[in-house]
Amino acid sequence: MTRRPAPNRRAPQATRKESAPSHHPTPGFQWPTMGELLDPRAPYLMPIALILITRIALALYMPFAAEDAYITFRFARNFASGNGLVFNPGEHVFGFSSPLWTLWLALGFKVGAPPVAWARVTTLALEIVTLVVVTAMLRRGFGHRSAWCFAFFFALWPYFSGVSVSGMENQAMVALLALASAGCAAKSPLSGPALAALALMRPEGLVASAIVAGWARWRDRWIAIALIAIAVVALTLYFGSPIPQSLVAKSRIYGTPGPWAGRHWWEWISPFTLFRFPQISDTGHLFLLTIVMAPSLWIGARTLWPERSQPVGAFVAGGLAIWLGYSLLGVVFFWWYLAVPLAAFAALAAIGFPKLSRGPALDISVGLLIAGLWTVVPVLYLGRSQNESYSFANVSNFLQRRVQPGQKVFLEPIGMVGYGAPVRIIDEVGLVSPSVAARRMQGAGWYADVVRSERPDWLVVRRSVLSGGQAFAGAGAPFRSAEERAAVFGGYTTEAADTTSGPNGLFVMSRRP
């Protein structure tokens, strides 16, 4: 008898190990196929469904856009109606932040679409584009689990839904950042226009575009430069400067006090509490994630760096460059500003989280946290919307009934009032009134001086300014003395008052004959 050799019982294990699926980053970008988009096991179909559900649900409870969106709406409506790209007819002031978004809204007015619905449907479509593009980048470059991490977070984190229905342009900018990154990686002929569109979406978009251009061909860079140059020349000829007055006014009035005063931009990244918990609700919710988010970002950064030629590297670099600028300057926190940096952080953390999470425990824990926030966080965005509609929309409705077209109104919340009432706006911050911003920088008494020089027919003033002479926000004391304050308001009669909102309640006053 011939003795047979004993079977190698380790061989099947070795074979299984050798044939186990492994992932190696591959360059370039490819759109997912229709089969992949419709496959429930792929990270597209279910997250897209979640985006539709969350955004539509929140929109149904919030009939109004954010207050600042109505500033852009008024510019767009005037442009569509033939009055020019102006807030006040005849005054060429670059008082909006996004040339591209304003022109898109003007197209909506031109075809008769309601501006809030037009902005929301556009944003919803672009968010789906963002999800597909960034998820495809991550899936191709870093694996299935990384793709699912980003898709789930982007679809379900309540903040993104709040920005989506706000009417602001920031989620559209996230989509342009994703498309430009993917286009440059794929050597698409649309890369140049995409880079130019990103640069013209917001002032900080120029920074992101310059960063992403590092992944582009020189041909596409020159196309982008040419398109941006044409836009800069056009804006300069029309407004006298390609720099938005809104940017100039905000930087002057609110200041850029540096990274310590502006730590609201970075204190939510680390679990180390630096003398305080995050003071802003939007970043306070993120602080709950820092135990897993901080190490995920660290692992993600170490993993991405050797593969930084990946298209998701451009997406992350562009978003984080904006965040770094905000942090170093200490830019004042307007809640919609966080959208682009947070999307970039989410993509970076999605690369690192699968290496941190061994097994389903952390996945389930984070999933439960995000799902549970939906029982709490929507109240924040609903509350903001209700407060703005109660204060600002009520003032707008009152003035619609009382003002004569073309009368002057001096106030700070110029969005809903300016959009709804046929008045000439003089705004306290100087977004559309450059002379006011310049006067505020000269020191105390700016409010009194503007009232004397402009002689507005109406004042919309907060209780804190009326009773204590304290500016709502920003540089410069409104009055030099209590006597000056009394003299200014003595020339006006109170016509309507919000007595339930504390120091921020609005009083509407008309000038005495």
Mean pLDDT, range 493-509, rounded to an integer: 89
Which residues in 348-368 are b (16+ Cβ under 10 Å) and which e? bbbbbbbbbbeeeebbeebee
The rounded distance, in Å, linking the Cα atoms of 70 and 292 is 38
Task: Indicate if the pLDDT at residue 187 is higher than 60.
Answer: yes
What is the pTM (predicted TM-score) of this model? 0.91
What the block records as the tokens of 198 is: 């990103």
DSSP 157-176: -HHHHHHHTS--SHHHHHHH
252-264 pLDDT, tens per residue? 988 899 999 999 9
323-336 pLDDT, tens per residue? 999 999 999 999 99
Which residues in 374-385 are b (16+ Cβ under 10 Å) and which e? eeebbebbeebb
What the block records as the tokens of 113 is: 């679409």
Q: Where are the domains of the chain?
A: 34-63+94-376, 380-511
Find, among 277, 209, 195, 204, the residue nearest to 246 by Cα.
Answer: 204
455-470 pLDDT, tens per residue? 999 999 998 888 887 7
469-481 pLDDT, tens per residue? 777 777 788 999 9
Task: Indicate if the pLDDT at residue 353 is higher than 50.
Answer: yes
Mean pLDDT, range 30-43, rounded to an integer: 94
Task: Indicate if the pLDDT at residue 196 is higher than 70.
Answer: yes
SS (H, E, C) 322-371: HHHHHHHHCCCCCHHHHHHHHHHHHHHHHHHHHHHCCCCHHHHHHHHHHH
Tell me, what's the pLDDT at 27? 62
Tell me, what's the pLDDT at 105? 98
